[in-house]
Every structure is written in structure tokens, then in C-alpha cells.
């Protein structure tokens, strides 16, 4: 069963160059979507809109919502709150995922014993346990950090666990022949290899952690982008809801691009075909 993302396969999905024509078409595509949106929501034809503001605010109204949100001072605080939850859970998941993955791969009996349970956990929709986590860890950050950790840990674990098992025996033998011991084997073979598998899982994991933090806030929170979204929907302040969706998209796009750049840099030793 291959649950891990192979580093080489992930490395191929990068930013690639496109011609001027494709670029023009892309811009045209976005412009068309915006135009249709603006025309049915009252920005183009004053006094006429196909849908009420509460259902579909116009682009201008969303910008207004964004401005109001930023001026209230909540935006930065909320974004920081949600990003902290995502980053905290992700960092915990990476550290423990590596530790447990290496441990289970080397202590074969332990790995074999735990494998079915790990597969079962990996297969279930873990964010569905959000309400439970809020009961256990409260409305603050802790419950969302725990939820993000729970969601991402298994991805990192399986990548490391299966990665370590594909270490070429002759890589290790090469170090042994040179007179190297376990420390050199760990330093030159195991560590770089494991890191490459974690990096391969990083991009997906970042996206998942942000999404899970927001979903966790839907269920129960006192701050954060997800929390603010639920409130704005409750009072039918849809311009603000849309503004938050835009923020999430921008933040997600930025950090995933950053992760992709890190990945390209760290995994440049891999075959690009």
C-alpha cells in the first residue's frame, strides 16, 4: 500500500513557464469571471442586481467589507491567530511524525504492530472529529493546534515510515566500508533522505493545516478567520464573509508557493522528467 507521496512525483508539479498567449488567455479568463460577477451583482448596472447582497455581494462591496475588517483591527489579529494554530499544529506534526516514523521503521515489530491502526486513522476524515477536540481542549488555540496536529501527523508519519524502508542497503554499506558507524550513517544517509520525504509532504500538509484550523474555528473558537467567518454569516454580513475567503485564498496561495520554492531548492538533486 503506497500512502506516501513520492518526492520525485511531487517535485514535478512546480511552476512552469507559459507563453505570452497562454498568459493573455489566463488574464482574460479571470477578467471574464470578474465581469460576470460584477454585472449580476449590481456593480456595472446601477440599480439592478440578479441576487441580493446577502447572497452575492458585488466585488465593490467585498472590497468595502475587506476595508472595514482591516480598519477594525480584527483582520491582522484574526489572521495571526489562525496562522499560529496552523503553524503550531504543523510543526508538532512534523517533529513527532519524523520521530515516530523513524522509530517504527527501525523497530520492525513495533511498526508491524501499529500499522493497521495507523492505516485506519489515516483513512478516516480526521477533521470530522473537530467537535470532540473542542470539548477536550476548549475554545482557545489548543483545540485547533491539536486538530491540525491530528490531521497532518499521519501524512508526515507515512511518508517518513515508508521513506526509511526504501533506503538502499548499499548506501548504508558504502558508509560502513569507509569505517563509518551509526552516527555517520544517520548523518549522511538517513537524515538527508528522511528530510527529502518530509519536504515532499510539506506542500500538501501546509494547505491541509490551514484548512483544518479554519474548520476547527467554525466548530468552536474565540478568535481567528474561521471564527469571524461564522459570525459574519450569522449576521448576513456576506461582504465580510467573502473578504475572509479572499484572505484565506491569498494566504494559502502565498505559503504554498513559498513551500514549492523551498521544495524545488531542497529537492533539486532529484531527476526532473
Residues 155 and 205: beta-carbon distance below 8 Å:
yes
**Count of chain residues binding other proteins (CB under 8 A):** 23
User: Quick one: cell of 208?
Assistant: 491541509
**Contact flag: residue 174 with other proteins (CB under 8 A):** yes
Contacts 24+ apart (CB under 8 A), 90-94: 90/148, 90/149, 90/152, 90/205, 90/206, 90/209, 92/145, 92/149, 92/153, 93/148, 93/149, 93/151, 93/152, 93/153, 93/155, 93/156, 93/205, 93/209, 94/152, 94/156, 94/198, 94/205
**Contact flag: residue 175 with other proteins (CB under 8 A):** yes
**Contact flag: residue 193 with other proteins (CB under 8 A):** yes
By CB under 8 A, name the one of 20, 109, 128, 177 that touches other proteins. 177
By CB under 8 A, name the one of 14, 28, 138, 192 that touches other proteins. 192
**Could you tell me the end-to-end alpha-carbon distance of the chain, in angstroms, rounded to an integer?**
24
94-102, 143-151, 168-176, 234-242 -> range binding other proteins (CB under 8 A):
168-176
**Contact flag: residue 128 with other proteins (CB under 8 A):** no
By CB under 8 A, name the one of 184, 218, 233, 264 that touches other proteins. 184
**Contact flag: residue 14 with other proteins (CB under 8 A):** no
Which residue ranges make up the site for other proteins (CB under 8 A)? 168-171, 173-181, 184, 188-189, 192-193, 196, 268-271
Amino acid at each position: 500500500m503506497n500512502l506516501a507521496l513520492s518526492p520525485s512525483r511531487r517535485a514535478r508539479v512546480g511552476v512552469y513557464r507559459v507563453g505570452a498567449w497562454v498568459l493573455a488567455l489566463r488574464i482574460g479568463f479571470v477578467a471574464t469571471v470578474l465581469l460576470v460577477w460584477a454585472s449580476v451583482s449590481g456593480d456595472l448596472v446601477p440599480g439592478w442586481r440578479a441576487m441580493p447582497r446577502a447572497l452575492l455581494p458585488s466585488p465593490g462591496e467585498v472590497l468595502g467589507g475587506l476595508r472595514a475588517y482591516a480598519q477594525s483591527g480584527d483582520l491582522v489579529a484574526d489572521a495571526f491567530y489562525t496562522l499560529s494554530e496552523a503553524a503550531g499544529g504543523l510543526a508538532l506534526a512534523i517533529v513527532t511524525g519524523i520521530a515516530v516514523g523513524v522509530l517504527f521503521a527501525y523497530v520492525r515489530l513495533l511498526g508491524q504492530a501499529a500499522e493497521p491502526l495507523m492505516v485506519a486513522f489515516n483513512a478516516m476524515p480526521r477533521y470530522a472529529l473537530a467537535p470532540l477536540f473542542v470539548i477536550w481542549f476548549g475554545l482557545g488555540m489548543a483545540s485547533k493546534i491539536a486538530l491540525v496536529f491530528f490531521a497532518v501527523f499521519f501524512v508526515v508519519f507515512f511518508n517518513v515510515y515508508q521513506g526509511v524502508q526504501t533506503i538502499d542497503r548499499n548506501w548504508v554499506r558504502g558508509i560502513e566500508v569507509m569505517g563509518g558507524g551509526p552516527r555517520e550513517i544517520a548523518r549522511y544517509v538517513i537524515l538527508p533522505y528522511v528530510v527529502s520525504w518530509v519536504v515532499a509532504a510539506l506542500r500538501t500538509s501546509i494547505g491541509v493545516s490551514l484548512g483544518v484550523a479554519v474548520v476547527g474555528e467554525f466548530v468552536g473558537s474565540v478568535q481567528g478567520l474561521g471564527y469571524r467567518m461564522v459570525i459574519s454569516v450569522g449576521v448576513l454580513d456576506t461582504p465580510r464573509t467573502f473578504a475572509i475567503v479572499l484572505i484565506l485564498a491569498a494566504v494559502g496561495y502565498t505559503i504554498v508557493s513559498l513551500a514549492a520554492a523551498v521544495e524545488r531548492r531542497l529537492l533539486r538533486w532529484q531527476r526532473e522528467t
